[in-house]
Every structure is written in structure tokens, then in C-alpha cells.
């Protein structure tokens, strides 16, 4: 679908061949299309003026017909632990958030796939926002470009990993997420490795199967958080239409096709899902498909409905899994002081500013 803003077409919605065609129709050589394509993707140009190997006439011509709907940094906060979060302003005014998580051995970009989210998971701040719209491939790509630049400029290191764990459910914006990943991984885009990209889903069984059919090369993570339908229904309404059995089958299909080990994310909530009984249920689910478990510390989101589990219980929970042959790692959360941690992305600063203004 081509969106027309002020009668201009966003030029990044065109394929390389379409761009070449446009130049040929204007009596220009096709390679001009490739030049423009490289400016748009490889060099992330935000205006036609930057395209210095095109004549001023050609740049003006493009300017009359096309626009570049690039995202803009609205504000940027650096956490005590060096995590950087920004809200990005989209061309139609919406805001999404992206985060750079620096670690010893890696620089990870956490990006959004939708404005808001439709899944209403009870523990997640983004879940309280309405899902406004899907992000375009270019809007996803732009977040990565910005965050990659922060890694270089703030910490002098290249971006190594990307996780689709920001706002939104990536598998409900399937084709745009796939198109973005293609651009991120192709040499004429950012040339990053598929193995360093993780798409995280709340568990849309049909779309997990589709990932398998499409034989994707990136990693898959499932936000599991409870290993019985009874408990999962209580915290993740999506489970009512995508039972653990259905999701488990979809994961088996995914694994059979891709041979890629899955990560289960499991937030430990106090007195809810962190007992040894719960670990036993999780272990049973882990038998379905080769997987490892990341136990995540709960980040309070404000309504006080949930509490963080005690670290001793988390350790015992992980030890039980490990003892039974499942790799389990505790993920301490990052960027909490600036609400950049998992589940805290809800444009809070912007809301505050709106209230004040
Ligand atoms: N919709 C996708 C992508 C968002 S990922 C998904 O659900 O996987 C965001 C990750 O942060 C998910 O694992 C989510 O379950 C987790 N998360 C959400 N709220 C959280 C919170 N308050 N504390 C810790 N992790 C949270």
C-alpha cells in the first residue's frame, strides 16, 4: 500500500526495480534508481538534498513527487546504567519508543513494531495503550539506524543485536516486520546478521507456523510467563484464543522447519508463577521443543497489581530447570530509572508533557 501524504508518495515504499523504472521513464539511466536506493537505505538519507551524486534538477524533480517519511528523535534519555531510550516521532505525529542496551559483550537495539498494542497483557505498560497502527518497514529500519548511531557515538561500539521487544506485537505486523528485517540484513541495507535478530511474540500460533513455512533465519522468543492455560489466561488474554497446546504445536512446526532453538521469556511474579510447582509445569512445556529459558525480573508498571518475585525463589526456580536439563538464565532489568525496561514503554514522558502542557 502506498501512502500519499500531501499528494506525495513516500519514496521508501518503492522497490529498487520500481525506482529504476521511474528514472527510465524520465529518460534517465536506470542506475540512478540504484543510487537513490542506496541513499535511502544504505546511507539513510532524510532529504533529497543530501543526494550529492544527483543533479540539482533531478533532486528537485524527486522532491516534487516524493517525500521521505523518516522518523525523528523526540527526546532521548540516558540511564544510570548507560541504557539509552528515545521516543521517535512518526510523520503523522504518533510516538514509539526504542532502546539501546549496552553490555560488556554486545550492543542491543530494542525496537517497536506497532504504535501501541492490541494484546492487553496485564503486566505490560504498552498493553494499556490502544493499538493505533502498524509501523512501516522504513519506520522499523529507522529505529535501528538511530540506535546503531548511538552505540557508535556514545560508546564507540558497533550495534551487534536487535530484539523486537519494544512496543507492539511483531507477528501482528508480519509483512512489515519481515520486510524491515530483510532490509536490515541485506548488504545493500545494514548488512546485519539474522542470527543476531530476535523476534519476540506473545504467541500467535498461526503466525509462528508461518515463520516456519517462510523458513526464517532470525531467532524466535516466546513471552510465556505462565505454563498452564489457567494462569496464562489470567495475565495474557491472547492465550484464550491461542492455547498453550496450539502455541506448542506451532513451535514444533517452527523448529522442524528452521532447526532454531527457541527462547522462552518468563517474568517471575511474586506468589503467582515462581514456585517449584510452576517450574515443573514449565519444564513439561520445555519438553515440547528445544528451548532455553530467560527468567525476567518484573518491572513495576505502576498499577501495583503484580510484584517482583524474591531473588531466592527465582534462583531456586532456575536451579530446578537447570537440574532437569533446561538452560535458564536470570535477566536483570536495565534502564529502570528512565522507564526503558521491558514492559515500561508507554510514552510516559510524552504523556506527562501533555498533561503539563
Ligand atoms: N508483543 C511481543 C513483543 C513485546 S516484548 C511479546 O509479547 O513478546 C516485551 C517483552 O517484555 C515481553 O517478553 C514482555 O512479556 C516483557 N514485559 C512486558 N511487561 C513487562 C514488565 N512489566 N516487566 C518485565 N517484562 C515485561
Contacts of residue 275, Cβ cutoff 8 Å, sequence gap at least 6: 313, 317
Interhelix angle 311-323/276-286, rounded to 10 degrees, is 40
User: Best mutation site among 123, 125, 297, 302 for ligand 1, i.e. most ligand atoms within 8 A of its Cβ?
Assistant: 123
Angle at Cα 89 formed by Cα 334 and Cα 85, nearest 5°? 15
Say how many Å lie between the CA of residue 309 and the centre of ligand 1. Answer: 16
Whether residue 97 lies in the annotated active site: yes
Tens digit of each residue's pLDDT (9 = 90 or more) over 213-248: 999 999 999 999 999 999 999 999 999 999 999 999
pTM across the whole model? 0.93
Alpha helix (H) ranges present in 98-214?
137-155, 174-185, 205-213
The C-alpha atoms of residue 124 and residue 346 are separated, in whole angstroms, by 9
Show the cell assigned to 277: 510447582
Residue ranges lining ligand 1, Cβ < 6 Å? 123-124, 165, 169, 200-202, 223, 265, 267, 296, 298-299, 301, 342-343
Confidence of residue 178 (pLDDT cuts 50, 70, 90): very high
Among 98, 124, 304, 346, residue to substitute to test ligand 1 (most atoms within 8 Å of Cβ): 124
Cell digits of residue 77? 534519555
**How far, in Å, from the CA of 343 to the mean position of ligand 1?**
5
String of b and e for 223-240 (b: at least 16 CB within 10 Å)?
Answer: bbbbbbeebbeebbbbbe
Cβ contact 74:86 at 8 Å: yes
Question: How far is the centre of ligand 1, averaged over its atoms, from the C-alpha of 98 (Å)?
Answer: 14
Kindly state the DSSP code that residue 42 receives in the 8-state scheme. T
Q: Which domains, ranges and CATH numbers included, belong to the chain? A: 4-67 (1.10.150.530), 72-356 (3.20.20.70)
Residue bearing cell 529505529:
143
| Cell (9 digits) for 230 | 489457567
Q: For this structure, is 342 an active site residue?
A: yes
- Tens digits of residue pLDDT in 280-326: 999 999 999 999 999 999 988 877 789 999 999 999 999 999 999 99
**pLDDT attached to residue 352:** 42
Find the 345 Cα to ligand 1 centroid distance in Å.
10
Check if the beta carbon of residue 263 is closer than 8 Å to that of residue 198.
yes
Which residues, at least 6 apart from 25, have a Cβ–Cβ distance to it below 8 Å? none
Among positive and negative, which fits the CA dihedral 304, 306, 308, 310?
positive
Distance of CA 97 to the CA centre of its chain: 10
Amino acid at each position: 500500500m502506498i501512502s500519499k501524504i500531501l499528494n506525495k508518495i513516500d519514496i521508501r515504499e518503492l522497490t529498487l526495480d520500481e525506482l529504476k523504472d521511474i528514472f527510465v521513464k524520465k529518460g534517465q539511466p536506470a542506475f540512478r534508481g540504484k543510487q537513490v536506493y542506496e541513499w535511502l537505505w544504505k546511507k539513510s538519507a532524510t532529504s533529497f538534498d543530501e543526494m550529492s551524486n544527483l543533479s540539482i534538477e533531478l533532486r528537485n524533480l524527486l522532491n516534487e513527487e516524493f517525500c521521505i517519511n523518516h522518523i525523528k528523535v523526540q527526546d532521548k534519555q540516558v540511564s544510570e546504567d548507560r541504557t539509552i531510550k528515545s521516543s521517535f516521532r512518526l510523520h503523522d505525529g504518533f510516538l514509539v519508543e526504542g532502546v539501546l542496551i549496552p553490555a560488556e559483550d554486545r550492543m542491543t537495539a530494542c525496537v517497536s513494531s506497532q504504535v501501541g498494542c492490541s494484546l492487553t497483557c496485564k503486566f505490560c505498560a504498552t498493553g494499556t495503550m490502544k493499538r493505533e497502527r502498524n509501523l512501516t518497514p522504513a519506520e522499523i529500519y529507522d529505529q535501528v539506524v538511530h540506535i546503531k548511531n548511538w552505540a557508535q557515538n556514545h560508546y564507540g561500539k558497533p550495534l551487534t543485536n536487535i530484539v523486537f521487544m519494544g512496543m507492539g506485537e511483531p507477528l501482528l505486523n508480519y509483512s512489515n516486520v519481515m520486510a524491515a528485517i530483510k532490509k536490515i540484513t541485506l548488504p545493500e541495507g545494514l548488512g546485519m546478521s539474522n542470527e543476531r535478530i530476535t523476534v519476540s511474540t506473545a504467541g500467535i500460533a498461526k503466525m509462528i507456523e508461518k515463520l516456519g513455512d517462510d523458513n526464517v533465519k532470525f531467532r524466535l522468543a516466546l513471552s510465556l510467563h505462565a505454563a498452564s492455560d489457567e494462569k496464562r489466561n489470567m495475565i495474557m488474554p491472547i492465550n484464550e484464543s491461542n492455547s498453550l497446546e496450539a502455541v506448542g504445536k506451532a513451535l514444533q512446526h517452527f523448529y522442524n522447519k528452521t532447526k532454531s532453538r527457541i527462547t522462552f521469556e518468563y517474568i517471575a511474579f511474586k506468589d503467582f508463577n515462581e514456585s517449584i510447582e510452576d517450574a515443573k509445569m514449565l519444564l513439561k512445556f520445555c519438553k515440547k521443543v528445544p528451548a532455553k529459558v530467560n527468567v525476567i525480573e518484573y518491572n513495576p508498571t505502576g498499577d501495583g497489581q503484580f510484584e517482583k518475585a524474591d531473588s531466592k525463589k527465582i534462583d531456586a526456580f532456575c536451579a530446578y530447570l537447570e537440574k532437569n536439563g533446561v538452560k535458564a538464565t536470570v535477566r536483570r532489568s536495565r534502564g529502570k530509572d528512565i522507564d526503558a525496561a521491558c514492559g515500561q514503554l508507554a510514552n510516559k514522558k510524552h504523556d506527562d508533557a501533555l498533561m503539563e502542557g
